[in-house]
Structure 1
Amino acid sequence: MEDGERHQFMIFLLFSGERQYGLLACDIQQEEFPFFYVISLQIGLSLRYLEISKAEAARRREMTKDLEVIRERNRILGIMSANDELTGLLNLRGFTEEAKKFCHEEQEQRAYMICGDLDHLKEINDNWGHPAGNFALRSVAEILRGCIRSDDVLARVGGDEFLILLKCTEEGYQETFRKRVKDACIYFNEKSDKPFLVEISLGIAEFCSGPQTDIQQVIATADQFLYEAKKHRRKSIRRP
């Protein structure tokens, strides 16, 4: 040693169970042995607890990452389950949830339920193929998107069927909206180079929102109006 004197060291094994963590070298007297032996056991136990704590912290971090992955996947699945694949609009499930939410949050507010139908989808598919039919359906989605506001709700709920929840408090707005959609279709068809016209029939039902509102009944009423409107559509959407 640097002090030139003789020293007596005692070596203590730092361990816990079968796990060895190191050695503790102590320059002590013989009578101090029991005390430092207990100290070495406590150090070994502390190191064991530290190791366990680090392992648990690592597991918690992994669990947090796994939960984040699960939440993200669930979010994506939720979007997929509530949206129409072809148009990106809500499907019937997503629309119904949004409509119920509106009725619970906005009580005693005038609104309009609109059923829309792409005219003569079967004719398009039969004469020009399903890609043409898909084009027409996506076109209807874009036309209707352009006719509503950002807080209105738009969905494709069937082959050629669309639903709109129009959150409008203006009385008698039905004809105004019909004209807006008709003008949008005319503008679209003027620009389109397709051999067919894209036209939309509408059934519109006015209702007052509230927790007791029967969304399915309101949709059924709008659908009945749509049935009447389809009687007046042209017989063919082939371009003249």
Structure 2
Amino acid sequence: MNPEQARYQAELLDCAPWPAAVLDADGCILHLNGALALHLGVPPDSALGQPLATYLDEEQRPRLLEMIRCASENEPATSMDIRTHRAVDGRERRLRLLCRPSRTPGEFLVHGRDVTEDLRRHLRREQILERMSDALDAAMTGLWEVDLGNGEVRLDSRASTLLGLATAPRSMTIGDWRELVHPDDEDQATAVFTGDDARERSISVEVRARHRDGRWLWISLSGRIVDADADDRARRLAGTLRDVTGRRSAQDEARRLGRRLELATRAAGIGAFEMTLANRKLQWDERMFSLFDLPSRGNQPLQIRWRDRLVDEDRERVLQDLRHVLRTGESAEITYRIALSDQAIRWIRASVTCSLDAAGRRESLLGVCLDVTREKEDAANLRRLALTDPLTGLHNRRAFAEALERAHQRRTRAPSALLCLDVDHFKRINDTWGHPAGDVVLIEIATRLRATARSSDLIARIGGEEFAILMDDTTASTAHAVAQRIADAIRSTPVAHQPPLQITASMGLVETHPDDVDADAPLRRVDRALYTSKQNGRDRIVIGDEGEARVEH
């Protein structure tokens, strides 16, 4: 090639959008176009005279020289894929290089194509196929195909293994398939593989097939027409084959368990009901009549308005919950009260759901009911015990804190008054006469507080010898009169003991404020008022706290 031709070739390479270079027999770069230089991450001029192998991974370098040798000996063109790491975007790319002799002796033209995306697509396809294969393995699902032209049934290795035929793909005739199927399912199974069940282009049946070891398996066959002629007649069918023996066995077991459950619910006193949505007819079992204290009507539709048994406060909530179940199809648990014939209250817990017809439409409302009156009473007793001081029978600190929180929530509507009192010199009583005497004093204080405070006031023992009274909708001035009566009642009569014990109490009194930041704010203020009462000689009432405090005897 003369210089003019060489220059022309170089210009063509520079204009080419694909990566290209001219190499000598040793693989050194004689010319490098911009596209390949961009992939290698080097300026074209700085690479001249450098071996192209310099820019390749070490394991790829022998392959480049082998490719040049093949081109020099006029062997069929070969190619190689190379990785480039120095591209301007910093991401690894894959180039497929092809080498052929140039018109100039001893020179070779290398040109390439970016196959990064091709390889990625191929890898994705391989990954998808691998995941599909793993999914089929995990689901114990095989593939089948039927050629209706020659009647050949082909099973892949999974389907063959499921039936115990082989561990490799298996071909058989439709007649062979018929011999595997249970006699009662033969017509249905054969119709699938002859296309008779594929008129709607989809297939879904469950049949029994004999395993090689003699067992009967329930097999689910799903598929569709994958090839049809010009008249839309099926020529080839394909689909999946899955062993559903476990599910069918579970369904049989569920039916048996259902019968057992019916016996168990009857023994446990659980009532069941069903309301057909089309005609709103309500069916009760015998236990439901007993739960609702109504005369039995056998299996006849219920004619009474059962809702009349509902306690007034619960009726609308229960009906709303039932309407929500009917509207959404969601299951619900509803707890409510009913009034019996003797006006006694019974707690009922109902679990309600909707049943669906074959088309997935809500067909009926199903439910079971259980008498939970004892459970509710036990829970109420436990809560009462959790909120009661065991010595005095008054509310305890937890109950008082809950009441104080409720007062805090409504503080902007009306003030509440908070009175705290502490038995004076109580430690001296314990130290001198013992803790039993101290308990007598605390019990007597509780008795006098109940007798003196108003019926609407909440009285609590919140500490060892500390008591508190929360007076809702009460100002401090009104509460002061109550506090004065309490102080008089405590000091007026000695506590019965040998000898009798004369006792007094120090008191703090505050109002709740609209700007209290939390429920404990008035409690902190009344503690300060109580402290002031003690500091000023005990047996007195301090109204307010700090600079606002007013001492009353």
> Is the Cα–Cα contact under 8 Å of residues 112 and 206 in structure 1 kept in the other structure?
yes
SS in structure 2 opposite 1:215? coil
SS in structure 2 opposite 1:202? strand
- Aligned partner letter, 2:378: R
Shift of 1:58: 2.5
Classify 1:146/1:70 alpha carbon distance in 2 versus 1 (closer, same or farther; 3 Å). Answer: same
Hey, what's the Cα distance between the residues in 1 that align with 2:439 and 2:495? 19
Residue in 1 that maps onto 2:390: 85
Residue in 1 that maps onto 2:265: 56
Classify 1:171/1:105 alpha carbon distance in 2 versus 1 (closer, same or farther; 3 Å). Answer: closer
Classify 1:185/1:193 alpha carbon distance in 2 versus 1 (closer, same or farther; 3 Å). Answer: farther
Aligned to 2:532, which of 221, 228, 235?
228
Hey, what's the Cα distance between the residues in 2 that align with 1:202 and 1:171? 13
Written as runs of structure 1 = structure 2, the 5 A alignment for 1:81-230 is 81-104=386-409, 107-170=412-475, 172-173=477-478, 175-189=480-494, 194-208=499-513, 214-230=518-534
TM-score, length basis structure 2: 0.30
Query: Which has more strand, going by share of residues?
Result: 2
Classify 1:125/1:70 alpha carbon distance in 2 versus 1 (closer, same or farther; 3 Å). Answer: same
> Is the Cα–Cα contact under 8 Å of residues 112 and 168 in structure 1 kept in the other structure?
yes
SS in structure 2 opposite 1:90? coil
Q: Report percent identity of matched pairs.
A: 31
Hey, what's the Cα distance between the residues in 2 that align with 1:157 and 1:171? 21
- Aligned partner letter, 1:124: I
Shift of 1:128: 1.0
Verify: 1:76 aligned to 2:285, yes or no. Answer: no
When the two structures are aligned, how many residues end up with a matched partner? 186
> Is the Cα–Cα contact under 8 Å of residues 152 and 165 in structure 1 kept in the other structure?
yes
> Is the Cα–Cα contact under 8 Å of residues 119 and 200 in structure 1 kept in the other structure?
yes
Classify 1:192/1:133 alpha carbon distance in 2 versus 1 (closer, same or farther; 3 Å). Answer: closer
> Is the Cα–Cα contact under 8 Å of residues 408 and 512 in structure 2 kept in the other structure?
no
Hey, what's the Cα distance between the residues in 2 that align with 1:163 and 1:57? 51
**What's the RMSD between the two structures over aligned residues?**
3.2
- Aligned partner letter, 1:217: A
TM-score, length basis structure 1: 0.66
Shift of 1:133: 0.3
Q: 5+ residue gaps in structure 2?
A: 1-257, 272-367, 540-553
- Aligned partner letter, 1:222: V
Classify 1:194/1:176 alpha carbon distance in 2 versus 1 (closer, same or farther; 3 Å). Answer: farther
- Aligned partner letter, 1:129: G
Deviates more, 1:175-184 or 1:134-143: 175-184
Shift of 1:104: 3.1
Hey, what's the Cα distance between the residues in 2 that align with 1:94 and 1:109? 21
Classify 1:216/1:75 alpha carbon distance in 2 versus 1 (closer, same or farther; 3 Å). Answer: same
| Structure showing greater Rg | 2
Hey, what's the Cα distance between the residues in 2 that align with 1:221 and 1:135? 30
Quick one: higher RCO (CA 8 Å, sep 6+), 1 or 2? 1
- Aligned partner letter, 1:185: I
Shift of 1:60: 4.2
> Is the Cα–Cα contact under 8 Å of residues 476 and 509 in structure 2 kept in the other structure?
no
Shift of 1:181: 1.7
Classify 1:139/1:64 alpha carbon distance in 2 versus 1 (closer, same or farther; 3 Å). Answer: farther
> Is the Cα–Cα contact under 8 Å of residues 148 and 166 in structure 1 kept in the other structure?
no
Shift of 1:159: 0.5
Shift of 1:194: 4.3
SS in structure 2 opposite 1:95? helix
Hey, what's the Cα distance between the residues in 2 that align with 1:136 and 1:190? 7
> Is the Cα–Cα contact under 8 Å of residues 453 and 486 in structure 2 kept in the other structure?
no
